[in-house]
Structure 1
Amino acid sequence: MKKAQVIAVVFAVIFVGGLYSLPRVVVDNEESGAALQESGTEEQSSALNQMHDAPMDADDRASLYQFQQSFEDASPEESLGIAEKIGEIYSKAGKYDSAAYFLGLAAERTSSPESWEKAGTAYYEAFTFALNEQKMSFLAEKTRNYLNKVLEKDPKRLDLKTKVAMTYVSSANPMQGITMLREVLEEDPTNADGLYNMGVLSMQSGQYKKAAERFEELVKYHPEHIQGQFYLGVSYFESKQNNKAKKQFQEVQGMTQDPMILSSVESYLGRL
């Protein structure tokens, strides 16, 4: 798949959710951790910038001001709830780093596993939207700072370990992230996040047969995973398994009403 096609696929299904966890790099060789190449185009950056610059309506702005005033005087016990409300408004406006900032402040005040997880998850979401390396690095570090605190107390939280792993995949040490994803799958071979992300990494590195194997496992255990179902079709298509690709895309058509996914599926079917 050419780089432009990868980006087209991403934007075809990006609003379904979950695809913001895609790393901003292509792993050329998943098994050996060979050289990395940056992916993305001016069009991709422009589209994401528009999400970041989404306008905030007057009512939300007024509510935000009130919540921020309340947050300043709130007790540690009250801080997290108010920060969540602030975060909801900022997230609605596409300002994910601002949402994470207030949840991080609340986490510092309360120092509870719940607040660490909410802050870390918010920073991870902001990380997946980041458009430059410096900001990505900062947000990734914040993500790890909070989520690792939760993992220290509860190492079984594989969902959080997967998020931490994905912050490393886009770093100067991507193999650390891939190793962590493998550890997740060793502990839980049916883990949806682990299978999905390893499949995406294989696809981005051009290893479509390996990607298909990952997505086959994913949908075997999680048939409702629409992104996995869609990418299984893409992996079949790119590995020249046309009969399987056609059947898979037809199955996806019966699983969702999302117009962007359906449009992309129709495009693939038209090329088979």
Structure 2
Amino acid sequence: MLNTIRSKQVFIIAAILLLVGFLFTREIKGLVKPKDDASKMPSAQTTTNSTTPSLTIEEVSATAKNLVSNATSKEISALESNYKNATGTEKTIEAKQLAEKWDDVEQAIPSAMYLEVVANGEPTLTNWLNAGTRFLKAFDNAAQDSLIQPVMLQKANNAFTKALTIDSTSNDAKTGLGITIVNGLGAPMQGIAMLLDVVKKDPKNLKANMQLGMFAIKSGQFDKAIIRFNDIISNIKATPDAYFYLATANENLGKNKEAIDAYLNSKKLAANPTLSKWIDTKVAELKNKR
């Protein structure tokens, strides 16, 4: 019986991890990935290592161009030509334009790479935070790519580290760095301690609280996760993400009624057809168990 319960918990957590890209950088609006892809998710131990591959802007740009329209691809190629021919501050300006253009078409990887160029050209706190945040978004979006994901996480870590050298009191930089550590760049508890310090100083920090709630789910501390997400919903912001993970924690504890209520609130706030369909199936499944 105990093994059955544990197997169920592992299965649910695996399904939830497939939605991690929805956190922090955007509302729930992407596709809910198939459950059978869970085995492809890199673990915290495999996201980074000493042989982390390198990527060039040219490589990620070429790949991303296959995901946008021909017109957009041509427009970006023209901007890239200007970027390659620019020098000094002009090159930084061109990189900003390319980052914005890639962001407009939801291509976080090349956008992040150009924001890194901007931050290197103009090393301000804001620029490094922008680069780190975009690299985290790229890390989430590359959940199924074992080559790109560790590079994005390493670059995010580097960006937030540089942000902290500029302002050691920045909660945004500490939160971002803590997230990279929790996701594999160091001992998880080191990252948790950093996030807890942020929450102590800024109790309503959404990103830090969400990550702490996620870690509670990953580590099987579902009671703590419920407390965390309820607090987020009541005192910080009632996001579809928070309701979704609250539902997950309740489901793992067999609190099906509470899970159903939270799933339905997530569905209402997200207003995403694909996610709605997934939740409808989940709710029907939970109702049959009551």
TM norm structure 2: 0.71
Shift of 1:68: 1.2
Match of 1:153 in 2: 166
Shift of 1:177: 1.1
Shift of 1:212: 0.6
Is 1:108 aligned to 2:108, yes or no? no
Change (3 A) 1:179 1:265: same
Shift of 1:63: 1.3
What are the residue-to-residue correspondences of 1:143-182 with 2, within 5 Å? 143-169=156-182, 170-182=184-196
Match of 1:240 in 2: 254
Q: Which amino acid aligns with 1:162?
A: T
Over the matched positions of the two proteins, sequence identity in percent amounts to 20
Shift of 1:203: 0.9
Match of 1:185 in 2: 199
Match of 1:263 among 277, 282, 286: 277
Change (3 A) 1:94 1:205: same
For residues 232-272 of structure 1, the C-alpha deviation after alignment (integer angstroms, 9 at most, x for no partner) is 12211211223322333343344342223322332332113
Is 1:6 aligned to 2:6, yes or no? no
Question: Greater CA deviation, 138-147 or 194-203?
Answer: 138-147
* C-alpha contact (below 8 Å) 2:12/2:252 kept by paired residues: no
For residues 64-106 of structure 1, the C-alpha deviation after alignment (integer angstroms, 9 at most, x for no partner) is 1111121134354444442233234445677543332222223
Q: CA RMSD in A?
A: 3.2
1:41 alignment partner, SS class: helix
Question: Greater CA deviation, 139-148 or 76-85?
Answer: 76-85
Q: Which amino acid aligns with 1:6?
A: I
Change (3 A) 1:133 1:86: same
Match of 1:82 in 2: 94
Q: Which amino acid aligns with 1:154?
A: D
Match of 1:221 in 2: 235
Structure 2 unpaired stretches of 5+: 1-7, 27-36, 43-62
Q: Which runs of 4+ in 1 moved over 6 A?
A: none
Q: Which amino acid aligns with 1:104?
A: E
Question: Greater CA deviation, 237-246 or 205-214?
Answer: 237-246
Report the Cα distance in structure 1 between the residues aligned to 2:21 and 2:154, rounded to whole angstroms.
Answer: 26
* C-alpha contact (below 8 Å) 1:116/1:146 kept by paired residues: yes
For residues 7-64 of structure 1, the C-alpha deviation after alignment (integer angstroms, 9 at most, x for no partner) is 43344x56755389xxxxxxxxxxxxxxxxxx9424x68xxxxx97952321122111
Q: Which amino acid aligns with 1:41?
A: S
Structure 1 unpaired stretches of 5+: 21-38, 46-50
